Amino acid sequence: MATDSFPDPFAFGDEIGPSKIVYLQTPSVGLRAIVVIDNVAAGPAIGGARMAPDVSVNECFRLARAMTLKNAACGLRHGGAKSVIFADPLMPRAEKEQLIRAFANAIAPLHEYIPGPDMGTDETAMGWIHDEIGRAVGLPAEMGGIPLDFIGATGFGVAISAAVAAPFVGLSLQGARVVVQGFGAVGEHASRYLEKRGARLVGVADIAGAIVDADGLNIEALAQLKRAGKSVSEYRGGRVISNESLVAVPCDIWIPAARPDALRADNVARLDCRLVVQGANVPATREAELIMFERGVVSVPDFIANAGGVVAAAVEYAGGSIPAAFAEIEEKIGLNTRMTLERAREAGAPPVDAATKLATSRLRRMMELRRWRV
């Protein structure tokens, strides 16, 4: 099937999905995009629409699968999907609007796909998509949306997950040292919510650099740098280190909140922490998960820890409020983190395996009830 220039569309399949891989092109506006709808047994699939120049089909599929598992683990009435618009997210606004509106029209026939904000897109972009096709989540508040990144839905969930996981490694959040890779919507809010629970941010990185201070970094000062378009590495005080060294910064909780595959076989042994709480999607390779397990580092998988955004999106889609979203996130992520770590402990298995079992058994039950819309 595959040729040198076109990936084999069936290379990614298993009994769960994907149900569709759709390539979209609108040459007149330079739109090139891909949508992977992984599984819709639970209902129409929610998944981020990412704008990036460099995401492979395989990565898009892995991200879609993570959404399937995340939505199933949380008992949402939504399947999992992901889309990528191949473009530079920093392009001029007018061009970006045109491209996103073209994308909206291209996905109009894909009724089982509900896009949400992701890296390179935001609530304004979801407003444009909704304006075109009446279907998107993570809308601006003025349109009845729950502004996921503004309220820090995912970061809040990561902090809840960390709070529930901490006792499993004999840790209290009071005084816990936290390192966060990525200071965007997820990383900043996770840092803030963890600080509210007594933790101390001792290291942080963005794409341009990293900074550490064992006495604690001032999160508001970091946020100000970010708002000014600067890097966290321009922080006054602390010590600048390389991005690659962040993995080895001594801490209690290490939070990946940037790109996939941040933890790999070649760097994961450098971790000097007890707990990893995955804020980013697919931030650890399978090999890295196994090495963490062997070394006694407890790792809460992405689809358990970072479900806050999609839980809030589902609440929004059902017409719910911001307080309802926070309550659902706390309940669902707290419960799932506890169940995952308890089952992993009982089975003597890595948490990612226990969590996958938890999510897939829920998914299979839903798939049994469908005829062939899986």
Active site residues per annotation: 82
Residue 78 phi/psi, 5-degree rounding, is -145, 140
Residue 252 interacting with ligand NAD (CB under 6 A): no
Are 259 and 189 within 8 A, CB to CB? no
What is the distance in angstroms between the CA of the first residue and the CA of the last residue of the chain?
A: 23
The residue written with tokens 């990528």 in the block is 84
Question: CA-CA distances (angstroms) from residue 83 to 14, 131, 318?
Answer: 19, 19, 22
How far, CA to CA in Å, does 145 sit from each of 9, 129, 156, 214, 315? 35, 13, 18, 39, 10
Q: Which stretch binds ligand NAD (CB under 6 A): 9-17, 35-43, 170-178, 200-208?
A: 200-208
Query: What CA–CA distance (Å, rounded) separates 265 from 284?
Result: 9
* C-alpha to C-alpha distance for 50 and 34, rounded to whole angstroms: 10
Q: Does 264 bind ligand NAD (CB under 6 A)?
A: no
Annotated binding-site residue? 154: yes
- Contact flag: residue 149 with ligand NAD (CB under 6 A): yes
Q: Please report how close the Cβ of residue 38 comes to ligand NAD at its closest, in angstroms.
A: 15
Q: Which of 186, 194, 219, 284 binds ligand NAD (CB under 6 A)?
A: 186
Residue 80 or residue 187: which is nearer to ligand NAD going by CB?
187
Mask: binding to ligand NAD, 301-330, rule CB under 6 A, as x and -? -----x--x---------------------
Cβ 22 to ligand NAD shortest distance, Å: 20
- If we measure between CA atoms, which residue out of 141, 90, 310 comes closest to residue 99? 90
Residue 182 in contact with ligand NAD, rule: CB under 6 A? yes
Q: Which is nearer to ligand NAD, 17 or 116 (CB)?
A: 116
Of 35, 81, 178, 185, the one binding ligand NAD (CB under 6 A) is 185
Closest alpha carbon to 82 in 53, 125, 39: 39
When the beta carbons of 117 and 367 are compared against ligand NAD, the nearer one is 117
Q: Binding ligand NAD by CB under 6 A: which of 243, 245, 267, 285?
A: 243
* Closer to ligand NAD by Cβ: residue 31 or 46: 46
Which H/E stretch holds residue 186?
Answer: helix 185-196
Out of 19, 39, 98, 281, name the contact with ligand NAD by CB under 6 A. 281
Query: Should residue 201 be labelled a site residue for ligand NAD when binding is judged by CB under 6 A?
Result: no
* Whether 95 contacts 30, CB under 8 Å: no
Cβ neighbourhood burial of 339 (10 Å; 0-12, 13-18, 19+): middle
Residue 363 makes contact with ligand NAD by CB under 6 A: no
Q: By CB under 6 A, tell whether 18 contacts ligand NAD.
A: no
Residues that bind ligand NAD (CB under 6 A): 118-119, 148-149, 154, 181-187, 205-207, 243, 257-259, 279-281, 306, 309
Binding-site residue set for NAD(+): 154
